[in-house]
Amino acid sequence: MKTAIVGTAQGIFVVDAAGGGSSSSLMGPSVRHLSRINGQCLAGSTAGIFRSGDGGRTWQASGIGDREVWDVTAAPGDPETLYAVTEPAGVFLSRDAGASWTEVVAFRRAPGFDQWCVPVNPPRPGRARSIVIDRQNPDRWCVGVEVGGVVLTEDGGRSWTFNMPGGNPDLHNIVAKPDEPGVLFASTGFGRIDRSEPMEKRIAGMFRSDDHGKTWRFQWTGMTPPYTRPLCIDPRPPHAVTVGSSPTAFSSSKDAGGARAMLFQSADGGETWRSLGDADHSPSAAQIHAVTSDPETTGGVLVGTDTGELWRVSPDTKWTRVAQGLPMVQSILLLA
Protein backbone atom coordinates (compact mmCIF):
# COMPACT_ATOMS: atom_id res chain seq x y z
CA MET A 1 0.00 0.00 0.00
CA LYS A 2 1.66 3.18 -1.20
CA THR A 3 -1.15 5.72 -1.43
CA ALA A 4 -4.44 6.27 0.34
CA ILE A 5 -7.09 8.65 -0.93
CA VAL A 6 -9.03 9.94 2.06
CA GLY A 7 -12.47 11.53 1.95
CA THR A 8 -13.05 13.95 4.79
CA ALA A 9 -15.59 16.46 6.06
CA GLN A 10 -13.60 19.12 4.20
CA GLY A 11 -12.65 17.46 0.93
CA ILE A 12 -10.19 14.85 -0.35
CA PHE A 13 -6.58 14.29 0.68
CA VAL A 14 -3.91 12.05 -0.84
CA VAL A 15 -1.84 10.33 1.85
CA ASP A 16 1.60 8.81 1.42
CA ALA A 17 1.01 5.63 3.37
CA ALA A 18 4.73 5.04 3.87
CA GLY A 19 5.70 8.48 5.11
CA GLY A 20 2.36 9.67 6.46
CA GLY A 21 2.43 12.97 4.61
CA SER A 22 -0.78 14.27 3.05
CA SER A 23 -1.84 16.86 0.49
CA SER A 24 -5.24 18.26 -0.41
CA SER A 25 -6.57 17.36 -3.85
CA LEU A 26 -10.17 18.63 -3.54
CA MET A 27 -11.19 21.25 -1.02
CA GLY A 28 -14.69 21.99 0.20
CA PRO A 29 -17.32 19.25 0.01
CA SER A 30 -17.87 16.58 2.61
CA VAL A 31 -16.91 13.26 0.98
CA ARG A 32 -18.78 10.14 2.12
CA HIS A 33 -17.77 7.70 -0.62
CA LEU A 34 -14.64 6.75 -2.55
CA SER A 35 -14.18 3.91 -5.01
CA ARG A 36 -12.10 2.92 -8.01
CA ILE A 37 -13.88 1.48 -11.05
CA ASN A 38 -12.05 0.53 -14.24
CA GLY A 39 -9.06 2.68 -13.29
CA GLN A 40 -11.17 5.74 -12.53
CA CYS A 41 -11.56 7.12 -9.00
CA LEU A 42 -15.06 8.24 -7.98
CA ALA A 43 -16.07 10.38 -5.02
CA GLY A 44 -19.57 10.89 -3.62
CA SER A 45 -19.96 14.19 -1.80
CA THR A 46 -22.28 16.96 -0.65
CA ALA A 47 -21.63 18.53 -4.07
CA GLY A 48 -22.49 15.43 -6.11
CA ILE A 49 -20.02 13.12 -7.85
CA PHE A 50 -16.41 13.85 -8.74
CA ARG A 51 -14.13 11.80 -10.99
CA SER A 52 -10.37 11.48 -11.15
CA GLY A 53 -8.29 9.83 -13.86
CA ASP A 54 -4.90 10.45 -12.24
CA GLY A 55 -5.10 8.52 -8.99
CA GLY A 56 -6.93 11.17 -7.02
CA ARG A 57 -4.53 14.06 -7.62
CA THR A 58 -7.10 16.14 -9.51
CA TRP A 59 -10.92 15.91 -9.62
CA GLN A 60 -13.66 17.01 -12.00
CA ALA A 61 -17.34 17.47 -11.14
CA SER A 62 -19.45 14.73 -12.72
CA GLY A 63 -23.10 15.42 -12.03
CA ILE A 64 -25.82 15.16 -9.36
CA GLY A 65 -24.41 18.37 -7.91
CA ASP A 66 -27.65 19.33 -6.18
CA ARG A 67 -27.57 16.27 -3.90
CA GLU A 68 -25.32 14.52 -1.43
CA VAL A 69 -24.07 11.24 -2.89
CA TRP A 70 -23.52 8.46 -0.34
CA ASP A 71 -22.60 5.43 -2.46
CA VAL A 72 -21.53 4.57 -6.01
CA THR A 73 -21.13 1.11 -7.51
CA ALA A 74 -20.80 -0.55 -10.92
CA ALA A 75 -22.91 -3.16 -12.67
CA PRO A 76 -21.33 -6.62 -12.52
CA GLY A 77 -18.96 -7.02 -15.45
CA ASP A 78 -19.93 -3.62 -16.90
CA PRO A 79 -17.81 -0.72 -15.58
CA GLU A 80 -19.58 1.69 -17.92
CA THR A 81 -22.85 1.24 -16.02
CA LEU A 82 -22.79 2.93 -12.62
CA TYR A 83 -25.35 3.42 -9.86
CA ALA A 84 -25.42 6.16 -7.22
CA VAL A 85 -27.68 6.77 -4.22
CA THR A 86 -28.33 10.14 -2.64
CA GLU A 87 -29.82 12.40 -0.01
CA PRO A 88 -32.67 13.29 -0.49
CA ALA A 89 -33.34 9.61 -1.10
CA GLY A 90 -32.80 8.84 -4.77
CA VAL A 91 -31.22 6.35 -7.16
CA PHE A 92 -29.29 7.50 -10.23
CA LEU A 93 -27.93 5.57 -13.23
CA SER A 94 -25.05 6.27 -15.60
CA ARG A 95 -24.40 4.39 -18.85
CA ASP A 96 -21.17 6.24 -19.68
CA ALA A 97 -18.91 5.57 -16.68
CA GLY A 98 -20.21 8.58 -14.79
CA ALA A 99 -20.02 11.27 -17.45
CA SER A 100 -23.79 11.79 -17.18
CA TRP A 101 -26.54 10.60 -14.82
CA THR A 102 -30.29 9.91 -15.01
CA GLU A 103 -32.57 9.54 -12.01
CA VAL A 104 -34.43 6.25 -11.60
CA VAL A 105 -37.74 8.02 -11.09
CA ALA A 106 -39.66 4.84 -10.22
CA PHE A 107 -37.75 4.75 -6.93
CA ARG A 108 -39.96 7.62 -5.78
CA ARG A 109 -42.92 5.23 -5.99
CA ALA A 110 -41.37 2.73 -3.56
CA PRO A 111 -43.64 1.88 -0.59
CA GLY A 112 -43.23 4.40 2.21
CA PHE A 113 -41.13 6.85 0.17
CA ASP A 114 -43.08 9.90 1.38
CA GLN A 115 -42.50 9.00 5.05
CA TRP A 116 -38.72 8.47 4.95
CA CYS A 117 -36.80 11.07 6.96
CA VAL A 118 -33.90 11.55 9.33
CA PRO A 119 -35.78 12.49 12.54
CA VAL A 120 -33.54 15.25 13.83
CA ASN A 121 -34.62 18.78 14.73
CA PRO A 122 -35.68 19.98 12.19
CA PRO A 123 -36.25 16.69 10.26
CA ARG A 124 -34.09 16.06 7.20
CA PRO A 125 -35.10 14.11 4.09
CA GLY A 126 -34.44 10.38 4.17
CA ARG A 127 -31.13 9.40 2.61
CA ALA A 128 -30.31 6.38 0.46
CA ARG A 129 -26.97 5.39 1.97
CA SER A 130 -25.98 2.20 0.18
CA ILE A 131 -26.74 0.17 -2.92
CA VAL A 132 -25.79 -3.43 -3.75
CA ILE A 133 -26.17 -4.84 -7.27
CA ASP A 134 -26.47 -8.64 -7.38
CA ARG A 135 -23.33 -10.13 -8.93
CA GLN A 136 -25.39 -12.81 -10.69
CA ASN A 137 -28.45 -10.77 -11.63
CA PRO A 138 -27.82 -7.09 -12.48
CA ASP A 139 -31.56 -6.37 -12.39
CA ARG A 140 -31.66 -7.13 -8.65
CA TRP A 141 -30.76 -4.08 -6.54
CA CYS A 142 -30.82 -3.61 -2.78
CA VAL A 143 -30.92 -0.05 -1.40
CA GLY A 144 -30.54 0.87 2.26
CA VAL A 145 -32.41 4.00 3.35
CA GLU A 146 -31.78 6.01 6.53
CA VAL A 147 -34.38 6.34 8.00
CA GLY A 148 -36.66 4.17 5.88
CA GLY A 149 -35.56 0.56 5.46
CA VAL A 150 -34.47 -1.87 2.76
CA VAL A 151 -35.84 -1.20 -0.73
CA LEU A 152 -35.57 -3.93 -3.35
CA THR A 153 -36.08 -4.29 -7.08
CA GLU A 154 -35.75 -7.38 -9.25
CA ASP A 155 -36.58 -5.72 -12.57
CA GLY A 156 -33.89 -3.09 -12.89
CA GLY A 157 -35.67 -0.38 -10.94
CA ARG A 158 -39.10 -0.46 -12.55
CA SER A 159 -40.89 -1.74 -9.43
CA TRP A 160 -39.91 -1.87 -5.77
CA THR A 161 -40.67 -3.70 -2.54
CA PHE A 162 -39.81 -2.66 1.00
CA ASN A 163 -38.95 -4.19 4.38
CA MET A 164 -37.40 -3.27 7.72
CA PRO A 165 -34.90 -5.71 9.30
CA GLY A 166 -36.32 -6.63 12.68
CA GLY A 167 -38.63 -3.64 12.37
CA ASN A 168 -35.60 -1.34 12.19
CA PRO A 169 -35.81 1.39 9.49
CA ASP A 170 -32.42 2.97 10.30
CA LEU A 171 -30.26 1.40 7.58
CA HIS A 172 -26.64 2.44 7.19
CA ASN A 173 -24.30 0.29 5.13
CA ILE A 174 -25.08 -2.94 3.26
CA VAL A 175 -22.43 -5.30 1.85
CA ALA A 176 -22.71 -8.60 -0.04
CA LYS A 177 -20.66 -11.73 0.52
CA PRO A 178 -18.40 -12.01 -2.55
CA ASP A 179 -18.87 -15.75 -3.04
CA GLU A 180 -22.58 -15.82 -2.11
CA PRO A 181 -24.33 -12.75 -3.58
CA GLY A 182 -27.60 -13.59 -1.82
CA VAL A 183 -25.94 -13.14 1.57
CA LEU A 184 -26.05 -9.51 2.73
CA PHE A 185 -24.93 -7.80 5.92
CA ALA A 186 -26.41 -4.52 7.14
CA SER A 187 -25.45 -2.09 9.89
CA THR A 188 -28.26 -0.22 11.64
CA GLY A 189 -28.94 2.40 14.29
CA PHE A 190 -31.67 3.74 16.56
CA GLY A 191 -33.42 6.16 14.19
CA ARG A 192 -37.19 5.78 13.95
CA ILE A 193 -39.69 7.71 11.85
CA ASP A 194 -42.36 6.98 14.46
CA ARG A 195 -40.75 8.15 17.70
CA SER A 196 -43.43 6.53 19.86
CA GLU A 197 -41.21 3.49 20.41
CA PRO A 198 -39.24 4.09 23.64
CA MET A 199 -35.48 4.28 23.09
CA GLU A 200 -34.85 1.46 25.56
CA LYS A 201 -36.94 -0.90 23.41
CA ARG A 202 -35.25 -0.07 20.12
CA ILE A 203 -32.74 -2.50 18.66
CA ALA A 204 -29.66 -1.57 16.66
CA GLY A 205 -26.72 -3.56 15.36
CA MET A 206 -25.88 -6.02 12.62
CA PHE A 207 -28.35 -7.99 10.50
CA ARG A 208 -27.83 -10.74 7.93
CA SER A 209 -29.99 -11.75 4.97
CA ASP A 210 -29.66 -15.05 3.09
CA ASP A 211 -32.24 -14.24 0.40
CA HIS A 212 -30.98 -11.05 -1.30
CA GLY A 213 -32.42 -8.76 1.37
CA LYS A 214 -36.01 -10.03 1.52
CA THR A 215 -35.74 -11.26 5.11
CA TRP A 216 -33.22 -10.51 7.85
CA ARG A 217 -31.80 -12.08 11.00
CA PHE A 218 -30.42 -10.07 13.95
CA GLN A 219 -26.75 -10.83 14.70
CA TRP A 220 -25.96 -8.38 17.48
CA THR A 221 -27.60 -9.99 20.51
CA GLY A 222 -25.60 -9.19 23.63
CA MET A 223 -23.12 -6.97 21.75
CA THR A 224 -22.17 -3.51 22.99
CA PRO A 225 -22.06 -0.77 22.02
CA PRO A 226 -25.17 -1.28 19.90
CA TYR A 227 -25.11 1.44 17.23
CA THR A 228 -23.35 0.12 14.08
CA ARG A 229 -22.41 2.21 11.07
CA PRO A 230 -19.12 1.94 9.05
CA LEU A 231 -18.92 -1.52 7.49
CA CYS A 232 -16.77 -3.50 5.07
CA ILE A 233 -16.31 -7.08 3.92
CA ASP A 234 -12.99 -8.60 2.89
CA PRO A 235 -12.93 -9.78 -0.75
CA ARG A 236 -10.74 -12.74 0.28
CA PRO A 237 -11.91 -15.88 2.12
CA PRO A 238 -13.18 -16.20 4.80
CA HIS A 239 -14.66 -12.78 3.85
CA ALA A 240 -14.35 -11.21 7.28
CA VAL A 241 -17.00 -8.60 8.09
CA THR A 242 -15.71 -5.59 10.03
CA VAL A 243 -17.91 -2.92 11.62
CA GLY A 244 -17.49 0.10 13.85
CA SER A 245 -19.96 0.57 16.69
CA SER A 246 -20.70 3.21 19.31
CA PRO A 247 -23.30 3.97 21.99
CA THR A 248 -25.31 6.44 19.89
CA ALA A 249 -25.48 8.17 16.51
CA PHE A 250 -23.85 11.26 17.95
CA SER A 251 -21.02 9.66 19.93
CA SER A 252 -17.94 11.83 19.46
CA SER A 253 -14.36 12.27 20.55
CA LYS A 254 -15.57 15.52 22.16
CA ASP A 255 -17.84 13.67 24.59
CA ALA A 256 -16.84 13.36 28.21
CA GLY A 257 -14.88 10.12 28.19
CA GLY A 258 -14.69 10.13 24.39
CA ALA A 259 -16.82 8.33 21.82
CA ARG A 260 -16.44 4.88 23.46
CA ALA A 261 -16.38 3.32 19.99
CA MET A 262 -15.40 -0.25 19.22
CA LEU A 263 -14.21 -2.14 16.14
CA PHE A 264 -15.55 -5.68 15.72
CA GLN A 265 -14.95 -8.42 13.18
CA SER A 266 -16.65 -11.69 12.27
CA ALA A 267 -14.95 -14.42 10.23
CA ASP A 268 -17.92 -16.78 10.30
CA GLY A 269 -20.64 -14.86 8.52
CA GLY A 270 -21.70 -12.81 11.53
CA GLU A 271 -22.39 -15.73 13.84
CA THR A 272 -19.70 -14.62 16.29
CA TRP A 273 -17.81 -11.34 16.71
CA ARG A 274 -14.49 -10.39 18.29
CA SER A 275 -12.98 -7.03 19.12
CA LEU A 276 -10.16 -5.68 16.95
CA GLY A 277 -9.36 -3.07 19.59
CA ASP A 278 -5.94 -2.80 21.20
CA ALA A 279 -5.40 -1.41 24.70
CA ASP A 280 -5.90 2.16 23.48
CA HIS A 281 -8.97 1.38 21.38
CA SER A 282 -11.04 -0.81 23.71
CA PRO A 283 -12.98 1.40 23.58
CA SER A 284 -11.71 4.15 21.29
CA ALA A 285 -11.98 7.76 22.43
CA ALA A 286 -12.17 8.75 18.76
CA GLN A 287 -15.31 7.92 16.81
CA ILE A 288 -14.84 5.50 13.90
CA HIS A 289 -16.39 6.89 10.72
CA ALA A 290 -14.70 4.82 7.99
CA VAL A 291 -13.45 1.27 7.57
CA THR A 292 -12.16 -0.54 4.49
CA SER A 293 -10.28 -3.77 3.80
CA ASP A 294 -6.48 -3.70 3.75
CA PRO A 295 -5.40 -5.08 0.34
CA GLU A 296 -2.13 -6.36 1.78
CA THR A 297 -3.48 -8.35 4.73
CA THR A 298 -6.39 -10.78 4.80
CA GLY A 299 -8.67 -9.64 7.60
CA GLY A 300 -6.79 -6.37 8.02
CA VAL A 301 -8.57 -3.03 7.73
CA LEU A 302 -7.93 0.70 7.46
CA VAL A 303 -9.86 2.88 9.90
CA GLY A 304 -10.64 6.61 9.79
CA THR A 305 -11.70 8.67 12.82
CA ASP A 306 -13.42 11.92 13.71
CA THR A 307 -10.08 13.17 15.05
CA GLY A 308 -8.57 13.10 11.56
CA GLU A 309 -6.47 9.98 11.98
CA LEU A 310 -5.97 7.07 9.58
CA TRP A 311 -5.05 3.75 11.19
CA ARG A 312 -3.98 0.37 9.86
CA VAL A 313 -5.40 -2.45 11.98
CA SER A 314 -4.12 -6.01 11.70
CA PRO A 315 -6.16 -9.16 12.42
CA ASP A 316 -4.12 -9.58 15.61
CA THR A 317 -5.34 -6.17 16.82
CA LYS A 318 -2.17 -4.18 16.16
CA TRP A 319 -3.00 -0.52 15.42
CA THR A 320 -0.49 1.48 13.37
CA ARG A 321 -1.18 5.14 12.67
CA VAL A 322 -0.76 5.97 9.00
CA ALA A 323 -1.71 9.67 9.08
CA GLN A 324 -2.98 12.36 11.43
CA GLY A 325 -3.99 16.01 11.34
CA LEU A 326 -6.68 15.51 8.70
CA PRO A 327 -10.27 16.74 8.96
CA MET A 328 -12.82 14.13 10.07
CA VAL A 329 -12.15 11.00 7.97
CA GLN A 330 -15.32 9.60 6.35
CA SER A 331 -14.13 7.37 3.48
CA ILE A 332 -10.94 5.63 2.40
CA LEU A 333 -9.67 4.34 -0.95
CA LEU A 334 -6.35 2.48 -1.12
CA LEU A 335 -4.20 2.48 -4.25
CA ALA A 336 -1.23 0.23 -4.99
pLDDT in tens, 230-245: 999 999 999 999 999 9
pLDDT range class, residue 52, cuts 50, 70, 90: very high
- For the cut 80, the answer to whether the pLDDT of residue 336 exceeds it is no
Q: What is d(CA 197, CA 191) in angstroms, rounded to the nearest whole number?
A: 10
Question: Could you give phi then psi for residue 107, rounded to 5 degrees?
Answer: -60, -30
Tell me the three state secondary structure of residue 183: strand
List C-alpha distances in Å: 15 to 23, 127, 181, 295.
7, 29, 33, 16
Average predicted confidence (pLDDT) for the chain: 96
- List residues bridging with 290 in a β-sheet: 304
Residue 293: name the closest of 240, 330, 228 by CA. 240
Hey, what CATH class is 59-335 in? mainly beta
**Where does the pLDDT of residue 2 fall: very low under 50, low under 70, confident under 90, or very high at 90 and above?**
confident
pLDDT tens digits for range 298-316:
999 999 999 999 999 999 9
* Max Cα distance, the chain (Å): 51
Confidence bin at 1 (pLDDT 50/70/90): low
Q: How high is the pLDDT of residue 311?
A: 97
Which pairs from 135-139 meet CB under 8 Å and 24+ separation? Answer: 135/76, 135/176, 135/178, 135/181, 136/76, 136/181, 138/75, 138/76, 138/78, 138/81
Three-class HEC string of 14-62: EEECCCCCEEEEEECCCEEEEEEECCEEEEEECCEEEEECCCCCCCEEC
Instruction: Give me the pLDDT at residue 18, please.
Output: 77
Cis ω on the peptide bond leading into residue 238 (within 30° of 0)? yes
Percent over 90 (pLDDT), the chain:
92
Inter-residue contact 143 to 169 (CB < 8 Å):
no
pLDDT reported for residue 247:
97
User: Residue 29 pLDDT > 70, yes or no?
Assistant: yes
Is residue 52 within 8 A of residue 45, CB to CB? The reply is no
pLDDT at 195 exceeding the cut of 90 = no
* C-beta of residue 253 within 8 angstroms of C-beta of residue 305: yes
Q: Which amino acid is at 125?
A: P
Give the pLDDT confidence score for residue 99 in this predicted structure. Answer: 94
CB 172 within 8 A of CB 231: yes
How many Å apart are CA 292 and CA 316, to the nearest integer? 16
Coil, strand, or helix at residue 3?
A: strand
Provide the pLDDT confidence category of residue 197 given band limits of 50, 70 and 90: confident
Q: What residues pair up with 125 in beta bridges, in sequence order?
A: 117
Is 129:143 a contact under the CB 8 Å cutoff? no
Task: Give me the pLDDT at residue 194, please.
Answer: 84
Asked if 79 and 97 count as a contact pair (C-beta separation under 8 A), the reply is yes
Give Cα 15 to chain centroid, integer Å: 21
Task: Give the other-Cβ count within 10 Å of 155's Cβ.
Answer: 11
| Whole-number Å distance between alpha carbons of 336 and 283 | 31
Q: How far apart are CA 278 and CA 272, in angstroms?
A: 19
How sure is the predictor about 192, in pLDDT bands with cuts at 50, 70 and 90?
A: very high
Q: CA–CA separation, 52 vs 333, rounded Å? A: 12
Q: Indicate whether 166 pLDDT > 80.
A: yes
The pLDDT, as a whole number, for residue 21 is: 85
Q: What is the pLDDT of residues 68-78, one digit of tens each?
A: 999 999 999 99
Instruction: State the DSSP H helix or E strand holding residue 320, giving kind and residue range, or none if neither.
Output: strand 319-323
Q: Please, which pLDDT band fits residue 164 given cuts at 50, 70 and 90? A: very high
CB–CB of 290/269 below 8 Å? no
249 CB-side CA count, 13 A: 15
Q: What is the pTM of this model?
A: 0.96
Domain ranges of the chain: 59-335
What pLDDT shows up at residue 182? 96
